[in-house]
Structure 1
Amino acid sequence: MNNFGIVVCFCLAFICNLSRPLAADRWTEFPQPPAMPMAVRSGTAPVNGIEMYYAIYGSAAGTPILLIHGGLGYADIWANQVADLSREHTVIVADSRGHGRSTRTSAPYAYDLMASDYVALLNYLKVGQVALVGWSDGGIIGLDIAMKHPERLTKLFAHAANTKTDGFNHGFDKTMTWLAYVEHCKDVYKRISPTHDEYDAFLTEMNAMWTSQPNWSDDELKTITVPTAIVFGDHDEAIDRGHTEYIAQTVPGAKLVILEKVSHFAMLQDPQGYTAAIRAFLEAPE
Structure 2
Amino acid sequence: MMSFKGYDWHSFLPDPRIGLRAALLPLLLLITSSALAENTQPWLTLPPTPTLPQSEQQGYIDSNHSRIWYSEFGEGQPVVLLHGGFANADYFGNLIRTLATHYRVIAIDSRGQGRSDLGSEALTYTLMESDIIHVMDHLNIQKAVVIGWSDGAILGLKLAIDHPDRLTRVFAFAANTRPNAIKDTSKSAVFNEFLKRTQQEYKNLSPTPHSFPALRNAITRMWRTQPDITQAQLMSIQTPVWIVDGQYDEAVQRQNQVLMAQTIPAATLLIIPNTSHFAFLQNPPLFDCYVLAFLAEKLPATCTPKTQASATEAPQ
TM-score by length of 2: 0.80
Large movers: runs of 4+ above 4 Å:
none
Match of 1:29 in 2: 45
1:168-199 Cα offsets, whole Å, 9 max, x none, are 12x22330111111111101101111111111
1:252-282 Cα offsets, whole Å, 9 max, x none, are 1200011110000111111111111111112
Tell me the amino acid that sits aligned with residue 46 of structure 1: D
Match of 1:140 in 2: 154
Taking structure 1 as reference, are residues 147 and 200 closer, same or farther at Cα in structure 2, changes over 3 Å only? same
Match of 1:279 in 2: 292
Match of 1:42 in 2: 58
Shift of 1:72: 0.3
Within 5 Å, give how 1:44-59 maps onto structure 2. Answer: 44-59=60-75
Within 5 Å, give how 1:95-134 maps onto structure 2. Answer: 95-134=109-148
Match of 2:97 in 1: 83
Structure 1 contact 74–99 (Cα < 8 Å) conserved: yes
Aligned to 2:174, which of 160, 163, 166? Answer: 160
Any unmatched runs of 5+ in structure 2? 1-37, 300-316
Within 5 Å, give how 1:217-236 maps onto structure 2. Answer: 217-236=230-249
Aligned length: 262
Q: Distance in 2 between matches of 1:108 and 1:282?
A: 34
Shift of 1:24: 6.3
Higher Cα radius of gyration: 1
Q: Distance in 2 between matches of 1:175 and 1:149?
A: 35
Shift of 1:104: 2.4
Shift of 1:216: 1.6
Q: Distance in 2 between matches of 1:284 and 1:58?
A: 20
Q: Distance in 2 between matches of 1:187 and 1:105?
A: 20
Q: Distance in 1 between matches of 2:65 and 2:266?
A: 36
Matched residue SS, 1:279: helix
Structure 1 contact 229–255 (Cα < 8 Å) conserved: yes
TM-score by length of 1: 0.89
Match of 1:211 in 2: 224
Match of 2:22 in 1: none
Q: Distance in 2 between matches of 1:64 and 1:173?
A: 37
Structure 2 contact 65–120 (Cα < 8 Å) conserved: no
Where relative contact order (Cα < 8 A, 6+ residues apart) is larger, the structure is 2
Matched residue SS, 2:132: helix
Percent identity over the alignment? 35
1:187-233 Cα offsets, whole Å, 9 max, x none, are 11011111111112311221111121011211111111100000011
Tell me the amino acid that sits aligned with residue 245 of structure 1: V
1:241 and 2:254 aligned: yes
1:196 and 2:196 aligned: no
Any unmatched runs of 5+ in structure 1? 1-21
Structure 1 contact 173–238 (Cα < 8 Å) conserved: no
Shift of 1:285: 5.4
Give the RMSD, CA atoms, in angstroms: 1.4
Tell me the amino acid that sits aligned with residue 164 of structure 2: P
Taking structure 1 as reference, are residues 24 and 186 closer, same or farther at Cα in structure 2, changes over 3 Å only? farther
1:269 and 2:282 aligned: yes
Q: Distance in 1 between matches of 2:64 and 2:215?
A: 19
1:56-101 Cα offsets, whole Å, 9 max, x none, are 0012x3x211110000011111000001110111100010111111
Q: Distance in 2 between matches of 1:248 and 1:130?
A: 21
Tell me the amino acid that sits aligned with residue 221 of structure 2: A
